[in-house]
Amino acid sequence: MQARAQALFAMLTGGVSNLLGYLGTGAWYFLASRGGATHWPLFWGGLCAVTVAITIYFAWAYHGVGHGFWKQPADSSAQPPV
């Protein structure tokens, strides 16, 4: 089962994600190019804004395992349930 999960993960991250990123970036390039010229600050600024938005979402949504940035230290006096 683990091999299937790894294969699915590899396909999604290496296949679907790359394809969507490629097509999305191409569409953004088309929108930033008008009259035979590309407005490069708009193009790179848009890509940067999307990257920052994804990073902020990840930092907000990721809960992690163990101790993180904003997590409190584990209470060592607590007894595990029997």
- pLDDT for the residue 39: 95
- pLDDT for the residue 42: 96
- pLDDT for the residue 80: 59
How far apart are the C-alpha atoms of 32 and 40, rounded to whole Å?
A: 7
| Sequential pLDDT tens for the chain (82 residues) | 778 888 888 887 788 888 889 999 999 999 999 988 999 999 999 999 999 999 999 988 877 665 556 665 555 555 656 5
Asked if 56 and 71 touch (Cβ cutoff 8 Å), the reply is: no
How far apart are the C-alpha atoms of 14 and 4, rounded to whole Å?
A: 15
- pLDDT for the residue 25: 96
Asked if 67 and 73 touch (Cβ cutoff 8 Å), the reply is: yes
